[in-house]
Chains A and B, each alone.
Chain A
Amino acid sequence: DAKTTQPNSMESNEEEPVHLPCNHSTISGTDYIHWYRQLPSQGPEYVIHGLTSNVNNRMASLAIAEDRKSSTLILHRATLRDAAVYYCILRDGYGGSQGNLIFGKGTKLSVKP
């Protein structure tokens, strides 16, 4: 299975941008890159996903390297509410069981006031 590598933890200051890195050197051509986050005592929630091009939505931006072997989740202005564990996940676009989400350890983001 294609896997991802993320730092265990990161710190940020409130109202500053945050760049969360993810390495996925064994990514295949059909793998989508998904980001979920899990706030304390809650279930994970979808943040963003992409295949090849950079993506933006109301929550964040996803920057995907040209060779797709790494990506970066960008929170433009961190708030205290963004403190969470962020998961970078590869999902096989062919679907079936290979298309399910496999969660790793993620990056625990702390936001300082």
Chain B
Amino acid sequence: DAGVIQSPRHEVTEMGQEVTLRCKPISGHNSLFWYRQTMMRGLELLIYFNNNVPIDDSGMPEDRFSAKMPNASFSTLKIQPSEPRDSAVYFCASRKLAGDTYEQYFGPGTRLTVT
């Protein structure tokens, strides 16, 4: 398996532009997580989905952030409009809902820079 795939790996955009980050979870995994990592705040959970349904989005910073999971193999995190404080590394992770390890598999991340 290729693991969790994220695209793009790097994104540089100007303040006010729309940014869309993409994630393909591991095949067979039915739970998907979006995290954000900054030096100041560390690794924060933004939102997670079970079986394509958003379960908890309490970590989403504000209305400028939205996430969707239209099917089991694809999810997007959109920021509109983007601001410099959104600069961070965004990670997607997936896992199987069943099973006792609760092992999450993380993607390589998207490094977002908003100027």
Contact = CB atoms under 8 A, between A and B. Distances in A.
A97 B55 contact: yes
B45 A44 contact: no
B45 A43 contact: no
A108 to B, nearest CB: 12
B101 interface: yes
Interface residues of A, number: 19
Interface stretch (B64-72, B74-82, B104-112): B104-112
A101 interface: yes
B1 to A, nearest CB: 14
Interface in B1-56: 4, 33, 42-45, 48, 55-56
Interface in B81-112: 91, 93, 101-109
A113 B91 CA distance: 31
A8 interface: no
B106 A45 contact: yes
B108 A43 contact: yes
Interface of B: 4, 33, 42-45, 48, 55-56, 58, 91, 93, 101-109
Interface of A: 32, 34, 36, 42-46, 49, 87, 91, 97, 99-105
